[in-house]
Structure 1
């Protein structure tokens, strides 16, 4: 079943249910479908057709949702990219995708227009951005007759997400209607969603987490509330006003919410189902979420753009930080790690031993390979398994714990040390707001375990941190940081992943207080 048809089924079921909200704009399913058909007919009249890639450089606004469904009805390929990208990065993605059209707004206008100045493609502007061939408003009012519906197959590509490119150029991840349908069904089941849920559209629609929120709500006739400009207070207000019932967020946003000074002033009793993904969550934050939200469902979801679900855990009250068991459509293994791609699916490590996490590709959620990147496909896909590049460990119960990226592993004095296990200890210190651990080059140790700490209390000292780690019964001495750096902010990706490479490269702002190495 193609996605556009599934959306029309939802419209037929409950046309008067609220579908999409942004500020004072509200669309029922019937009203949203009318807006979508106008946009689709306008795009079709401008030459966008089946299989064409349409690059969108937009914030999370209602127009982006309308355009998503319009593009699905045309059988074209929704290709969103981060609106914060530089002009060179945008140009790369547009050329790599061989895009038929680009859609942008004021915040991305300068970068997009510079990126496409020598490229022939349709330019569409939103929210008053200049330099376009046609505006969104003109597009939806264009006289173009009846929308011609193409013959769309389940294996046709409907979405292409670009990976963050932390290890080089971004890679296009083509996903079919079948992939996206499978991922949405898994998301609904794993998060225990029901008909007429409501959620926030705060996770970027250029990221797999944003797409799950969009699709799961549509299939359940739920309500999606868009938040183009993120801010914790604005989110708290929306949660209360719109009586949001479920959210799927990164740990950073949960941290912002539960530690907000006015948290207790908001009535969040409607919010019962919580899910997180995209980055690790400390035990301290997990406990705070249970305490302040008291959710009926709290899920850690582990996956990727390439294969939506790897695993999920719905018993975080027993095992904080656990990634749980393989997902609804999935099977996984932990194998001997090899950064050069020499591992094989049968090189399975025993319980309690760290290794690389790999997942079975015999699932409706899995892609078939990267766009224009046979080299990357060959490295990632081997013998029917996807090699994630993540380090993990299965405990004696067969539960998965994710330890970080394979290339984030610190090798100090010949010992493998995984940043998350060190971070989890330091995060429990009452004067610590956030922490990230990375290995810095060192002549004696090979790599020096280094803790980058954002203080909650300005009185925090290096000596205090080191004493805390020494006294901890959860951290072996060889894993203890040998250097502490107090910084103002942990560098992160737009979806909250710690960018350890920036820490290793010195791309951070130190606090104006004494820093020391320890022995």
Structure 2
């Protein structure tokens, strides 16, 4: 089943239903479909064809959604890029894509200034007097009816780029089949239904943003577009619209809960919440339970490459747990030896690398233009995630870090996630990230970067807390504490550990 057909079915099923809300403007499924057809027809006249790549350098807007569906109807590939990337990474991505067309807006125009492509793409601007064609001209030049081109299930529909926290971003093409199955699993695992209204905080260049939107579109639900997430925009949106579900990064939940403008009564209307992309501290989990009082609270562990690895819907009993494999997945935890095979599983309680079964219909087939990285990541029919995990006696999975984040201090290995988990329980620790910093004697020392709630908290106090907790060996306790106002994050909200490793006082 291809995405264009799913959208056409939704528009025919509930044409009068509200599909998109942006500010005080709403679009029905019928009106959205007409707008999509106009843009698809105009893009076809400009020469966009099946398998051509179309880059979106835009914030979350109605135009972003319209462009997404227009590209699907053409059989082309939608490539939304994170415009917050470092200029060098963004240039690499655009050169890698070799786009037929780039759609941009005033806020992202500078990112294109110095990029020279061998074949110049068509530049479409949301703003007048810019680009080769304006968005307004696309809409005026198209017709409200357009027949989708024939599309195969295995044709690429979307290409997302990884966040690049452990190297340069990599292109991940996803087929119509994988995006269809991933969206259906998103609906089932989060228990969404046709009455739901999604608060679209996650950017549409992220797999969480794409699948949050697609879940609503498949169900004829409502999706609220927020292009600039501020306390004011959140407060206004929640005041005027009865939001029922939210799927976001932990940092976004923290932002909402710390806002003084958001009415807590409005948060209690949000019945289904889920998070992914980074660990959520126990303190934040319990605060979410207290403030939102949700019917569903899900930890979704997955990646750009494979949408779902595991899910956990019993966070009250096991806060921070990644849970069990998703409905389309098998997951194992294998030894950390470089040559480890899928059969080299570790015992419960031992740390190993998480691997996921590539036969899952949610899986990608390989990285764009990077067969070398594909060979490293996919072995013996399994995807080696690079994540460190361990199972408890019940078989539930916990993620404790990344293989490239392991701190080798002297002869000992330290898992940053384990140390962070202990420190997060200190009442004065708001956030913490643990890394290994270079040391002349030990090679690396365990260093904790702490965002504290109280300025008077001291390294001695935190070390005593770790000692009394009893879960950390002496070599695992941080030898250095650095107090910071905030942790460095990328555009997806993940902590950029490289910046902390290179931090100097």
TM-score class normalised by the smaller sequence: over 0.9
Q: Secondary structure at the match of 2:389?
A: strand
Q: Secondary structure at the match of 2:267?
A: coil
Structure 1 residue 270, shift from structure 2 partner? 2.1
Could you tell which deviates more after superposition, 86-95 or 385-394?
Answer: 86-95
Once residues 236 and 461 of structure 1 are traced to their aligned partners in structure 2, the CA distance between those partners, rounded to angstroms, is 36
Contact 1:91 1:116 in 2 (8 A): no
From the superposition, tell whether residues 152 and 493 of structure 1 become closer, same or farther in structure 2 (CA, over 3 Å). Answer: same
From the superposition, tell whether residues 440 and 10 of structure 1 become closer, same or farther in structure 2 (CA, over 3 Å). Answer: same
Once residues 458 and 204 of structure 1 are traced to their aligned partners in structure 2, the CA distance between those partners, rounded to angstroms, is 34
Structure 1 residue 86, shift from structure 2 partner? 4.2
Structure 2-normalised TM-score? 0.96
Give the counterpart of 1:495 among 481, 492, 496.
492
Residue 330 of structure 2 is matched in structure 1 by: 331
Structure 1 residue 264, shift from structure 2 partner? 5.0
Q: Secondary structure at the match of 1:304?
A: coil
Matched, 1:284 2:283: yes
Contact 2:21 2:27 in 1 (8 A): yes
Structure 1 residue 131, shift from structure 2 partner? 3.7
Residue 470 of structure 2 is matched in structure 1 by: 473
Q: Secondary structure at the match of 1:298?
A: strand
Could you tell which deviates more after superposition, 372-381 or 415-424?
Answer: 415-424
Alignment of 1:216-365 (within 5 A): 216-263=215-262, 265-338=264-337, 341-365=338-362
Contact 2:388 2:399 in 1 (8 A): yes
Give the counterpart of 2:386 among 371, 380, 389.
389
Q: Deviations over 1:315-369 (max 9, x none)?
A: 000100000000010000000124xx52211111111110000000111101111
Contact 1:35 1:66 in 2 (8 A): yes
Once residues 93 and 413 of structure 2 are traced to their aligned partners in structure 1, the CA distance between those partners, rounded to angstroms, is 36
Q: Deviations over 1:71-98 (max 9, x none)?
A: 0011100011111234443332222112
Q: Secondary structure at the match of 1:267?
A: helix
Could you tell which deviates more after superposition, 189-198 or 473-482?
Answer: 473-482
Q: Deviations over 1:440-465 (max 9, x none)?
A: 12233332111101122222222222
Equivalences, count: 505
Residue 101 of structure 1 is matched in structure 2 by: 101
Structure 1 residue 265, shift from structure 2 partner? 4.8
Contact 2:37 2:143 in 1 (8 A): no
Residue 173 of structure 2 is matched in structure 1 by: 174
Structure 1-normalised TM-score? 0.94
Structure 1 residue 216, shift from structure 2 partner? 0.3
Q: Secondary structure at the match of 1:447?
A: strand
Contact 2:165 2:497 in 1 (8 A): no
Could you tell which deviates more after superposition, 465-474 or 151-160?
Answer: 465-474
Could you tell which deviates more after superposition, 275-284 or 233-242?
Answer: 233-242
Once residues 194 and 59 of structure 2 are traced to their aligned partners in structure 1, the CA distance between those partners, rounded to angstroms, is 27
Aligned-pair RMSD on alpha carbons?
Answer: 1.7
Residue 30 of structure 2 is matched in structure 1 by: 30
Contact 1:87 1:114 in 2 (8 A): no
Once residues 49 and 315 of structure 1 are traced to their aligned partners in structure 2, the CA distance between those partners, rounded to angstroms, is 46
From the superposition, tell whether residues 474 and 127 of structure 1 become closer, same or farther in structure 2 (CA, over 3 Å). Answer: farther
Once residues 332 and 57 of structure 2 are traced to their aligned partners in structure 1, the CA distance between those partners, rounded to angstroms, is 37
Q: Secondary structure at the match of 1:199?
A: strand
Once residues 420 and 88 of structure 2 are traced to their aligned partners in structure 1, the CA distance between those partners, rounded to angstroms, is 35
From the superposition, tell whether residues 475 and 231 of structure 1 become closer, same or farther in structure 2 (CA, over 3 Å). Answer: farther
From the superposition, tell whether residues 384 and 325 of structure 1 become closer, same or farther in structure 2 (CA, over 3 Å). Answer: same
Q: Deviations over 1:408-444 (max 9, x none)?
A: 1112242222112211222222222211111112233
Residue 515 of structure 1 is matched in structure 2 by: none
Q: Deviations over 1:290-320 (max 9, x none)?
A: 1111111100000011110000000000100
